[in-house]
Structure 1
Amino acid sequence: MASTKSPKDVSWLSHYIPTYQGIKNFVGDVFPSEIMAVGEPPEKTAVESKDSVLKKPVYKMKPVPKVSGKSVHSRWYWPFAAGVLALEVISVYAMFFIKLQRATGIFMVLYGILSGLCITAGYHRLWAHRAYKASLPLEIFLAVFGASSIQGSIIWWVQNHRLHHRYTDTERDPYNIKRGFWYAHHGWILFRRQEDELGYADMTDLHANKVVIWQYNYYFFISALTSMILPTVVCGYFLGDWVGGFFWGACARIAGVQQITFCVNSVAHTFGTQPYSDEQTPKDNWITGIVTLGEGYHNFHHAFPNDYRNGVRWYDIDLTKWILWGLEQLGLAYSLKRFPRNEIMKGRATMKLKRAERFAKRVDYGTPVEELAMFTESEFVAEVKERGRKWLVIEGFIYNVEDFIEMHPGGPKLIKSGIGKDMTNAFNGGVYNHHYSARNLMNSTMRVGKII
């Protein structure tokens, strides 16, 4: 008889892992209120025009309260602060006092890449942005090993990231780069933010995801198993390096993956280029892209957030993109979202035009056409014959060539012969078809009037 179990039914997993509630009751909820949507929806009112029945919602957001330095330090987020700082201290200790064996080092790097990919492909592109859909086995795998770098549960991580995208560079951005590089990289995770400092993030899709809720309920055990116990046992039992397994395979690996993830919040908002948008701080940086498994193409990501690619060009070093494409070929991932190529090109074109406009503002184009003096043909001839002006006409504009006669690449004779005449035909190919450089030089340094 065919099974009636839903393809997303993961309740069977709960039988193999003890309940998390007892530990939560003892140490407190490490991630308070994370199972709920962050903050409250913005206040909304419907306003109707007298001339139309169309409703026009008006959204209002309370200003973020100012917090004194003293109260900030009194709100240390102790569970995370203690854990993150302890891992960093242990890692530094290992660098000086614990020998790194070759086999352990290889394991640390490979398992670190796996941990990072579960963050980038799972926490970030699958759950935070819904950039693709995953089969149940892949979703469980990403949920389990996504916990191996101790970056919080899926719900906690995703809600912060969605807040970051909605409120980028504002006081409601959890890792707001405007508060400084250190705050965006590391400081934000050390302090607890109050409810009135948060914005609103819609989390209803994840509340309905059984894998996500299962990971949340048993996060402590899943994380302990995959982050500390598994690497220590693998290195100890199979490689004969129990000490190195703990210090390098577990602690140093976790700290390294965390720091690499934090670089997306800090480095990718500080250094690099902005080929798609410059309204906010995100930057594209191929070096950061290598280190973060593809997350360094952050300008593209903020412009097109639900595209499964961060490095959209084929040569962009986005390992996560290539992994997801491979999983799609295997049938483990599907419905990979791709922004239309035309819209991506439009973003690049817009930025190139903006840069061209900024560059053009630094260039002297001479007196604007609307500010030029106006002359009739008879007035022009009189200026040349009676006042000795060294003027000629090209395409209806009057040019003073007095200081250019001896500089003319074709010699002074032709210039002198054209004084007092309309030399449009000669200029446009009758004698020589002049380049834009010649036109620009004339317009910026010689143009003095216009024939009417």
Structure 2
Amino acid sequence: MTETETIHSSSRQRNGEAMAESMPVEDAFGDSQKEKEGPTLPGQIVWRNVVLMLLLHIGALYGLVTIPAASALTLVWTGVCFMISALGITAGAHRLWSHRSYKASMPLRIFLAVANSMAFQNDIFEWARDHRVHHKYSETDADPHNATRGFFFSHIGWLLVRKHPDVIAKGRKLDLSDLKTDRVVMFQRRYYKLSVVVMCFLIPTVVPWYFWGESLLVGFYLAGLLRYTVVLNATWLVNSAAHMWGMRPYDQNINPRENKFVAFSAIGEGFHNYHHTFPYDYATSEFGSRLNLTKAFIDFMCYLGQASDCKRVSHETVMARVRRTGDGSHKSG
């Protein structure tokens, strides 16, 4: 039976007043969803992806070499591109579109879609679909980056092989009507390849060249390839490291862990035991904006009137879960 947690929906525009709302926990699954007996099917290697990922990481290593030659403005611009890219995943594809943990205005949704294209990790529709499958069938063959298959597979290997048939089959059964009726999501999906070329590679490269005379080579390898590769690996660490190393203060019966290094590198996505226990909490953490720049960004958008209805789990619900299923490592405050 699916477990139900009590979620409180809080709107910053109403000075933090909470309304009780009951939401299902996606990570609990019944007998019909359990992994099948028998060995896991070996993935068919997609050699094009292997070659492209190898070239990308070689290019990123060269980007490190260009850092001493880069101007201070280019270094700042690279950091800005990193933050925009990361928010396109964390605040956009993840917390907004995958979990619907808050509401965003049209201008904010457009910004997050553009930022998502800069991150280049599949379009919003595909990202959200696979992430919902990941939560519903976590650590089974239907999980796109099943961590029980090892660090390499859950980190990058899942992108180098064909999807397991269970991932495709379960994904087709999900209700994705909210994504299909979202004009921003479908517009980005329609023009995704063009948006990636422009946002992920062209703009990061051309802006420093045009505005302050940076070398196109430095712009491409530093703000383009190195920044893109760092964002990719920061996101992948949520799938790998945060499912393997750390504490499980909220639910010791699931693999996801609390991992501060991942929280830092993925701007707030490393409080993973909490997130898989309470997937509809917009903060994905019990502890506010600590190591959680994504929450701070969403809060700022609420202050500007661009975001609202942020769902939050009550302290009482959290503590009840800690006492019932936690591993004893919980520290409140």
Indicate the TM-score class for this superposition, using the shorter chain for normalisation: 0.7 to 0.9
1:58 to 1:251, Cα distance in 2 relative to 1, 3 A: closer
Question: What code does the residue aligned with 1:287 have?
Answer: F
Q: 1-side partners of 2:277 and 2:58: how far apart?
A: 37
Alignment correspondent of 1:138 = 108
Q: Which has the bigger relative contact order, CA under 8 A and spacing at least 6?
A: 2
Q: 2-side partners of 1:269 and 1:67: how far apart?
A: 19
Alignment correspondent of 1:224 = 197
Q: Does 1:209 align with 2:182?
A: yes
Residue 156 (structure 1) aligned to one of 115, 126, 136: 126
Larger Rg: 1
Question: What code does the residue aligned with 1:85 have?
Answer: L
1:64 to 1:117, Cα distance in 2 relative to 1, 3 A: farther
Q: Over residues 99-135 of structure 1, what are the superposed CA-to-partner deviations in whole Å (9 max), with x where a residue is unaligned?
A: 3333212211121011101210000000000000110
Shift of 1:84: 3.1
Shift of 1:239: 2.3
More displaced, 92-101 or 137-146?
Answer: 92-101
Alignment correspondent of 1:172 = 142
Q: 1-side partners of 2:186 and 2:256: how far apart?
A: 31
Query: Residue 296 of structure 1 aligns to a residue in which SS?
Result: coil
Aligned length: 295
1:294-333 matches, cutoff 5 A = 294-314=268-288, 316-333=290-307
Q: 2-side partners of 1:325 and 1:269: how far apart?
A: 27
Residue 274 (structure 1) aligned to one of 248, 263, 278: 248
Shift of 1:66: 4.9
Question: What code does the residue aligned with 1:239 have?
Answer: W
Q: Is the 8 A contact 2:40 2:141 kept in 1?
A: no
Residue 55 (structure 2) aligned to one of 45, 64, 86: 86
Q: 2-side partners of 1:129 and 1:256: how far apart?
A: 24
Q: Over residues 10-69 of structure 1, what are the superposed CA-to-partner deviations in whole Å (9 max), with x where a residue is unaligned?
A: xxxxxxxxxxxxxxxxxxxxxxxxxxxxxxxxxxxxxxxxxxxxxxx9957894885665
Q: 2-side partners of 1:77 and 1:344: how far apart?
A: 45
Alignment correspondent of 2:12 = none
Task: List runs of 5+ in structure 2 lacking aligned partners.
Answer: 1-29
Q: Is the 8 A contact 2:66 2:218 kept in 1?
A: no
Query: Residue 337 of structure 1 aligns to a residue in which SS?
Result: strand
Question: What code does the residue aligned with 1:293 have?
Answer: I
Q: Does 1:95 align with 2:102?
A: no
Q: 2-side partners of 1:277 and 1:214: how far apart?
A: 38
Using the size of structure 1 for normalisation, the TM-score is 0.61
Q: Over residues 217-259 of structure 1, what are the superposed CA-to-partner deviations in whole Å (9 max), with x where a residue is unaligned?
A: 0001111111111011101111211211111011111111001
Shift of 1:316: 2.9
Using the size of structure 2 for normalisation, the TM-score is 0.82
Q: 2-side partners of 1:64 and 1:207: how far apart?
A: 34
Q: 1-side partners of 2:242 and 2:31: how far apart?
A: 33
Alignment correspondent of 1:183 = 153
Alignment correspondent of 1:377 = none
Percent identity over paired residues = 34
Q: Does 1:122 align with 2:92?
A: yes
Q: 1-side partners of 2:289 and 2:89: how far apart?
A: 22
Question: What code does the residue aligned with 2:124 have?
Answer: I
Q: 2-side partners of 1:196 and 1:111: how far apart?
A: 35
Question: What code does the residue aligned with 1:350 have?
Answer: R
Q: Is the 8 A contact 1:64 1:196 kept in 2?
A: no
CA RMSD of aligned residues (A): 2.3
Q: 2-side partners of 1:161 and 1:151: how far apart?
A: 12
Q: Does 1:105 align with 2:78?
A: no
Q: 2-side partners of 1:101 and 1:208: how far apart?
A: 44
Q: 1-side partners of 2:31 and 2:40: how far apart?
A: 28
Q: 1-side partners of 2:302 and 2:41: how far apart?
A: 50
1:37-48 matches, cutoff 5 A = none
Question: What code does the residue aligned with 2:61 have?
Answer: V
Alignment correspondent of 1:408 = none
Q: Is the 8 A contact 2:70 2:218 kept in 1?
A: yes
Query: Residue 313 of structure 2 aligns to a residue in which SS?
Result: coil
Alignment correspondent of 1:233 = 206
